[in-house]
Amino acid sequence: MHTMPRDVGWIEVVCGSMFSGKTEELLRRVRRAQLARQLVQVFKPVLDRRYHETDIVTHEGRSIPSVPVSRATEILERVDARTRVVGIDEAQFFDEELVRVCEEMADRGLRVIVAGLDQDYRGRPFGPMPHLLCIAEYVTKNHAICVVCGNPANRSQRISGGQERVEIGAQDRYEARCRRCFYPEGEPDQAELFSEQAQA
């Protein structure tokens, strides 16, 4: 159990693979702040329209209203002076400026809750997330369940789509995988995989 700071701002980061419950955890923390009668504002990147144009929606269908923004600096422009808590979903899709934006809000005394993928589909650090993980007061790393073997999963396997780093999708394009079942360059040919397993 963490002791929460008083009379000071801070940054919390919730990270993990696809389907690990990052957005669920963001919503849980935001709703608790609302129950405490704190003014909360939630933001998401405008390009994330998987489930709704403006709301943040979890894979399980839970949702909360948010403000879509095209760049991180818009968050600063839109934060109300009375706001105490700022939630940011899909942080990996923002540019590096998000780090400065989060620092500035925390320096103003705001609680900043950030959720996002820490790795891209090739297992590489994703967008501003590595820097945010370094400067955050609190970090939570969620795990999903590997769809192949059932182990804890912390990687996102792309199962369809192209080679672009950013391709928005859900179960249609990604699966949660563990280290052993993850193939950063795409699924191997099954005959080749069988041959490798036979030689092992």
Indicate the SS3 state at residue 122: coil
The residue ranges of every structural domain in the chain are 10-142
Which among 8, 13, 2 has a CA at the least distance from the CA of 131? 13
- Whole-prediction pTM: 0.85
The answer, yes or no, to whether residue 75 has pLDDT greater than 80, is: yes
Do residues 157 and 174 make contact, with C-beta atoms less than 8 angstroms apart?
A: yes
Residues in the chain: 200
* Burial per residue of 181-193, b for 16 or more beta-carbon CB atoms within 10 angstroms, e otherwise: bbeeeeeeeeeee
Domain 10-142, CATH class in plain words: alpha beta
pLDDT digits over 30-57, tens only?
A: 999 999 999 999 999 998 766 556 778 7
pLDDT for 93 equals 94
pLDDT for 72 equals 96
Just list the catalytic residues: 90
pLDDT digits over 103-138, tens only?
A: 999 999 999 999 999 999 999 999 999 999 999 999
Amino acid at 157: Q
- Taking the C-alpha atoms of residue 10 and residue 50, their distance in angstroms, rounded to an integer, is 30
- Taking the C-alpha atoms of residue 167 and residue 162, their distance in angstroms, rounded to an integer, is 8
- Taking the C-alpha atoms of residue 8 and residue 82, their distance in angstroms, rounded to an integer, is 15
pLDDT digits over 127-175, tens only?
A: 999 999 999 999 999 999 999 999 999 999 998 766 665 565 556 788 9
